[in-house]
Amino acid sequence: MTSFHYVNDTLVAEDVALTEIANTYGTPTYVYSRADIEAAYTSFEQAFASHPHRVCYSVKANSNLAVLNILARLGAGFDIVSGGELQRVLRAGGDAAGVVFSGVGKTAAELQMALQANIACFNVESVAELDTLQSIAAQLGQVAPISIRVNPDVDSGTHPYIATGLKENKFGVSSDIAVEMYRRAATMDNINIVGIDCHIGSQITELSPLTDALAEVLQLVDGLERDGITLNHIDLGGGLGVCYKDEQPIAVEDYASAVLQTMGRHSQKLFFEPGRYIVANAGILLSKVELTKQNGDHRFAVVDAAMNDLIRPALYNAWQKVAAVELHDDPENWSVVGPVCETGDFIAHDRELAIATGDLIAVHSSGAYGFVMSSNYNSRNRAAEIIVSGSDHYCVRQRETIDDQLHLETILPD
Ligand code: LLP
């Protein structure tokens, strides 16, 4: 489902025209639909209704407080990768008891903060992390609940920068090392083994890598059980792909039936860490055409959003749909680019659009890994974030000002 659609040739988000958003808040601006976020979360939740499970929204995809709060109200758990994300979840009203902590380089301070918050599970990714966690938990007189992140060595078939499940990737540990780590963890006084974890990549559009990874995890689970180590949950990570262009994403119901079939007689609770699936298509980046120019045969629309606002095209050569907010006839071929001083600063190439100076465009599928990856490159103020709900709209992050950018900086004394 999408709440972004045309009414009388004008793009709306739920019941609000994007022209109204631009008039009220300016551009560039991220716009999210509350209904779309809720629908995506609920569809995931319902697909696994027949099996004990917990959906831990992956905060990195979009960590705006209001987005986290919408999901907290629905009872979501959260997958975090930093102390900052933990603090966001808690301030958004999320329950620490539903938090899993992933990441290959958790600092001692982050481990301590998460222990003190009593999170549900540490997804441990190395022997060194296990040892540090044991010693911090001992100092605090606490017991740390853990999973070990296994690297099942399957190819998720996705972009190399976001594939994480191959043995040459930095994430997790191999099955052999995982078994040794479980044996060692079982002897540690301040460690409580509760589960096993894997995450093989992002934007996955085929089922077989996901079920292959689960099958390998289940073999480990059975082997550990023979050693007397019982696990309460299996965390399958995130990674479910979405449609940006013409991909055929896996329907969440098909994902659920394949996972549950692979589980067979195994009754462990399932944890999931979806990010993109929940928010990608629930958001657009709204931008204005500043000017147009032609170099040789090439027509450029220079818009007020740039790679600092949305880096996915520059970083991954990602394709995201660009649409005119108000539809006109006679489209032409455009490169849509930002004002940043890099040739890599583009939003889209080779698009048929009917646009002119002053027009608004929407960059679709920008709800995940959009604002969160933005920066102040070229000293540009980061965009505002708006949530639409029915005919209401709320500014959930104000546009930055130059004072916001500069208040941490100073010049040297005389
Ligand atoms: N769990 C772990 C341990 C992860 O590393 C990730 C994503 C997720 C869950 C959520 O994955 P998702 O369901 O969103 O696919 N910036 C890239 C994506 C990076 C993904 C990193 N890890 C992009 O814009 O495509």
Q: How far is the CA of 202 from the centre of ligand 1 (A)?
A: 5
Indicate whether 411 pLDDT > 70.
Answer: yes
> pTM for the whole thing?
0.97
Which tokens in the block code for residue 166? 């191959």
Q: How confident is the model at residue 286 (pLDDT cuts 50, 70, 90)?
A: very high
Q: How far is the CA of 221 from the centre of ligand 1 (A)?
A: 24
Beta strands in 81-178 (DSSP E): 99-101, 121-124, 144-149
What pLDDT is stored for residue 153 in this prediction?
A: 81
Closest CA to 104 of 76, 74, 124, 75: 124
What pLDDT is stored for residue 165 in this prediction?
A: 65
Flag the least confident range among 48-57, 110-119, 128-137, 155-164. Answer: 155-164
pLDDT single digits (tens) 85-136: 999 999 999 999 999 999 999 999 999 999 999 999 999 999 999 999 999 9
Distance, in Å, from the CA atom of 30 to the CA atom of 21, rounded to the nearest integer, reads 10
Which tokens in the block code for residue 168? 């040459």
Q: How far is the CA of 239 from the centre of ligand 1 (A)?
A: 6
Could you confirm whether 341 is annotated as catalytic? yes
DSSP single-letter state for residue 251: P
Percent of the chain with pLDDT strictly greater than 70? 98
User: Across residues 291-317, what is the average pLDDT?
Assistant: 97
Average pLDDT score, the chain? 96
Q: Is 191 helix (H, G, I), strand (E, B) or coil?
A: strand
Ligand 1 atom closest to the Cα of residue 81 is: 3
CA angle 323/277/338 to nearest 5° reads 35
Distance, in Å, from the CA atom of 345 to the CA atom of 337, rounded to the nearest integer, reads 6
SS (H, E, C) the chain: CCCEEEECCEEEECCEEHHHHHHHHCCCEEEEEHHHHHHHHHHHHHHCCCCCEEEEEEHHHCCCHHHHHHHHHCCCEEEECCHHHHHHHHHCCCCHHHEEECCCCCCHHHHHHHHHHCCCEEEECCHHHHHHHHHHHHHHCCCEEEEEEECCCCCCCCCHHHECCCCCCCCCECHHHHHHHHHHHHCCCCEEEEEEECCCECCECCHHHHHHHHHHHHHHHHHHHHCCCCCCEEECCCCECCCCCCCCCCCHHHHHHHHHHHHCCCCCEEEECCCHHHHHHHEEEEEEEEEEEEECCEEEEEECCCCCCCCHHHHHCCCCCEEECECCCCCEEEEEECCCCCCCCEEEEEEEECCCCCCEEEECCCCCCCHHHCCCHHHCCCCEEEEEECCEEEEEECCCCHHHHHCCCCCCCC
Indicate whether 317 pLDDT > 90.
Answer: yes
Q: How far is the CA of 102 from the centre of ligand 1 (A)?
A: 11
What pLDDT is stored for residue 161 in this prediction?
A: 63
User: Across residues 39-45, what is the average pLDDT?
Assistant: 98
Ligand 1 atom closest to the Cα of residue 159 is: 25
Q: Is 257 helix (H, G, I), strand (E, B) or coil?
A: helix
Ligand 1 pocket test target in 37, 57, 58 with most atoms within 8 Å of CB: 58
What pLDDT is stored for residue 184 in this prediction?
A: 97
Measured by CA distance, the residue closest to atom 6 of ligand 1 is 238
User: Across residues 159-165, what is the average pLDDT?
Assistant: 66
Q: How confident is the model at residue 169 (pLDDT cuts 50, 70, 90)?
A: confident
Q: Report all structural domains of the chain as residue ranges with CATH numbers, in order of start.
A: 4-32+280-406 (2.40.37.10), 34-277 (3.20.20.10)
What pLDDT is stored for residue 1 in this prediction?
A: 66
Q: Which residue has the higher pLDDT, 342 or 156?
A: 342
Q: Ligand 1 pocket: which residues have CB below 6 Å?
A: 58, 61, 79, 102, 162, 164, 199, 202-203, 237-240, 273-277, 312, 316, 369
Indicate whether 160 pLDDT > 80.
Answer: no
How many Cβ atoms from other residues are within 10 Å of residue 321's Cβ?
15
User: Across residues 324-338, what is the average pLDDT?
Assistant: 98
Indicate whether 156 pLDDT > 90.
Answer: no
Kind of pairing between the strands at 99-101 and 121-124 = parallel
Ligand 1 atom closest to the Cα of residue 61 is: 14
What pLDDT is stored for residue 163 in this prediction?
A: 66
Measured by CA distance, the residue closest to atom 22 of ligand 1 is 202
What pLDDT is stored for residue 157 in this prediction?
A: 72
Query: Which of the following is catalytic: 56, 121, 341, 395?
Result: 341
Q: How far is the CA of 238 from the centre of ligand 1 (A)?
A: 7
Q: How far is the CA of 280 from the centre of ligand 1 (A)?
A: 11
Measured by CA distance, the residue closest to atom 24 of ligand 1 is 369
pLDDT single digits (tens) 20-39: 999 999 999 999 999 999 99
Ligand 1 pocket test target in 56, 99, 100, 202 with most atoms within 8 Å of CB: 202
What pLDDT is stored for residue 162 in this prediction?
A: 64
What pLDDT is stored for residue 281 in this prediction?
A: 98
pLDDT single digits (tens) 228-266: 999 999 999 999 999 999 999 999 999 999 999 999 999
